[in-house]
Amino acid sequence: METRGPDPRNGTLELPGSLEDTSVSSTPPSSTNSWDLGAGTRAPLYLDCVHCGFCLPACPTYRVIGNEMDSPRGRIWLIRSAAEGQAPMSPAFVRHMDLCLLCRACETACPSGVQFGALMEMARSQLDQDRRYPPVERAFRRLLLGTLTDVRRLGVLMGGLWLYQRSGLQTLVRVSGILRPLKRFRAMEALLPKVSMPKSLRAWPQVIPPRGESQGRVGLLMGCVQRFLFPHVHRATVRVLSTLGYEVIIPRDQVCCGSLLVHEGMRARGQVLARRTIDVFERAGVDWVAVNAAGCGSVMKAYGELLRDDPAYADRAEAFARRVRDVAELVARLPLDGHFRRLDLTVTYHDACHLVHAQRIRRAPRDILRSVPGLRLVELPEADVCCGSAGVYNILHPKTAEALLAQKVENIRRTGAAVVVSGNPGCTLQIERGLRERGLDVRVAHLMEVLAWACPDV
């Protein structure tokens, strides 16, 4: 993917005209004290940025749009200007913040260790608190995120979608083109995989014993999107972990972890779900909390920061976060020789952003795949570049997301792999859609699914 825009080696920034014109916002610039940007025991996080520009070539939105203000360096500069009262939080400011994927590729590229993800989440939280989105946009986001992060509402929706597909209505809707003018609803509908009738957590066993010598007791996060759209990933996860010797616990009273809310700036609502998640898994008495969704894991590992100002939960959140593990980490900590049977298959691996950049898990999934006899791993070009899913980004900004998806699918096609392995449900939905619409016979599977295929029959 070709990099566009200003030379990233140029460390200077000029204020764009759209931000110079304060008439675009009727609200005065924010005071520094109203912003929570990492102040308190240390300086604001934006002061860590030295404007070197190493982040620019790594930023997917900068590469697609070519606008300095849609790069990490530009966004940090805008945040600082607003926080210090030098520029308003205008509609242009809001758009530049909103176009960020929060993929955190800039953190991997940054030599100064800028915590861009935390900074952006705090900035979005400020926008949400100050009601900077237009009323209709704000209502749409709250409806969308309120549904996706409420397991009861989502369960009802999935039942309706199951009927929508089984009745043939989906075929009629797609053929008629009735959703063509409604870009966001069309984007959501296009993402739908085959939906199964939702089941209560009571349909799952609460305890799955280990096979052989016990390697520890893990609690499995069922989540929201993964639970309802990809229950087979959970079944594969249980099979793999129990085969490797883990006792798997599935608490029935668990809820959404709150990751989507935190990413979109709705921190207060995310904190409520974080507290409930901590309570649930503390009661379960597990050694680790196993997560098979990259976006969920990245936020759960940051619960300490999310709840740092809550005296009742700050220490508990830190302790909880230390027990959170992506499933690849739980598998990689064990010797794998002899656990898997031969699997004659060519696969490629897509790095989910919140696995590779947020959790810094890059090598483990590849080493695990290479441990399977007969399996051939072909490296995917630009494997760690965002596919455009980014939580609900592909719904809110389908045009930019489509540009990223097109490049990702083309890179997958070039590998000749039969399966592309993904560690995040959002990536799976996005890549599946891209492959399906281009008529490519490539399957998208979770790492745990591939390992489950290679597990010996009981």
What percentage of the chain has pLDDT greater than the value 90? 66
Task: Please tell me the distance from the alpha carbon of residue 128 to that of residue 138, in angstroms, as a whole number.
Answer: 9
Tokens representing 1 are 């993917």
Task: Please tell me the distance from the alpha carbon of residue 136 to that of residue 240, in angstroms, as a whole number.
Answer: 45
pLDDT digits (tens, 9 = 90+) for 66-95: 999 999 999 999 999 988 888 888 889 999
For the cut 80, the answer to whether the pLDDT of residue 8 exceeds it is: no
Whose structure tokens read 């100064």? 112
- Enumerate the domain spans of the chain: 35-132, 136-190, 203-332, 345-454
First to last CA, the chain: 46
Pairwise pLDDT comparison (47 vs 250), residue with the higher score:
250
Residues for the chain: how many in total?
458
pLDDT of residue 40: 41
For the cut 80, the answer to whether the pLDDT of residue 20 exceeds it is: no
Task: Please tell me the distance from the alpha carbon of residue 257 to that of residue 272, in angstroms, as a whole number.
Answer: 9
Residues forming beta bridges with residue 326, ordered by sequence position: 291
Q: Are the CB atoms for 87 and 93 separated by under 8 Å?
A: yes
DSSP track, 330-346: HHHTS--TTTS----EE
What percentage of the chain has pLDDT greater than the value 70? 90
pLDDT digits (tens, 9 = 90+) for 324-353: 999 999 999 999 887 899 999 999 999 999
Task: Please tell me the distance from the alpha carbon of residue 186 to that of residue 170, in angstroms, as a whole number.
Answer: 12
For the cut 80, the answer to whether the pLDDT of residue 5 exceeds it is: no
Task: Please tell me the distance from the alpha carbon of residue 136 to that of residue 130, in angstroms, as a whole number.
Answer: 15
Whose structure tokens read 């085969």? 243
For the cut 50, the answer to whether the pLDDT of residue 15 exceeds it is: no
DSSP track, 365-419: HHHHHHTSTTEEEEPPTTTTS--S-TTTHHHH-HHHHHHHHHHHHHHHHHHT-SE
Say which amino acid occupies 79. Answer: I
CA distances from 183 to 42, 73, 141, 177 (A): 43, 30, 15, 11
pLDDT digits (tens, 9 = 90+) for 316-325: 999 999 999 9
DSSP track, 160-171: HHHHHHHTTHHH
Judged by DSSP in three states, 83 sits in: helix
Q: Are the CB atoms for 165 and 198 separated by under 8 Å?
A: no
Tokens representing 37 are 């940007």
Over range 243-261, report the average pLDDT. 95
CA distances from 424 to 26, 49, 64, 237, 349 (A): 40, 29, 23, 13, 12
Task: Please tell me the distance from the alpha carbon of residue 24 to that of residue 17, in angstroms, as a whole number.
Answer: 11
Task: Please tell me the distance from the alpha carbon of residue 396 to that of residue 148, in angstroms, as a whole number.
Answer: 14
pLDDT digits (tens, 9 = 90+) for 188-199: 888 888 888 878
At 112, is the pLDDT very low, low, confident or very high (cuts 50, 70, 90)? very high
Sheet holding 443-446, edge to edge: 375-378, 345-349, 419-422, 443-446
Task: Please tell me the distance from the alpha carbon of residue 109 to that of residue 376, in angstroms, as a whole number.
Answer: 29
Quick one: CATH architecture of 203-332? 3-Layer(aba) Sandwich (3.40)
Over range 354-374, report the average pLDDT. 97
Judged by DSSP in three states, 350 sits in: coil
Task: Please tell me the distance from the alpha carbon of residue 96 to that of residue 13, in angstroms, as a whole number.
Answer: 15
Say yes or no: do domains 35-132 and 345-454 share a fold.
no
What fold is seen in the domain 345-454? Rossmann fold (3.40.50)
Pairwise pLDDT comparison (84 vs 446), residue with the higher score:
446
What fold is seen in the domain 35-132? Fumarate Reductase Iron-sulfur Protein; Chain B, domain 2 (1.10.1060)
Find the radius of gyration of the CA atoms of the chain.
22
For the cut 60, the answer to whether the pLDDT of residue 101 exceeds it is: yes
For the cut 50, the answer to whether the pLDDT of residue 6 exceeds it is: no
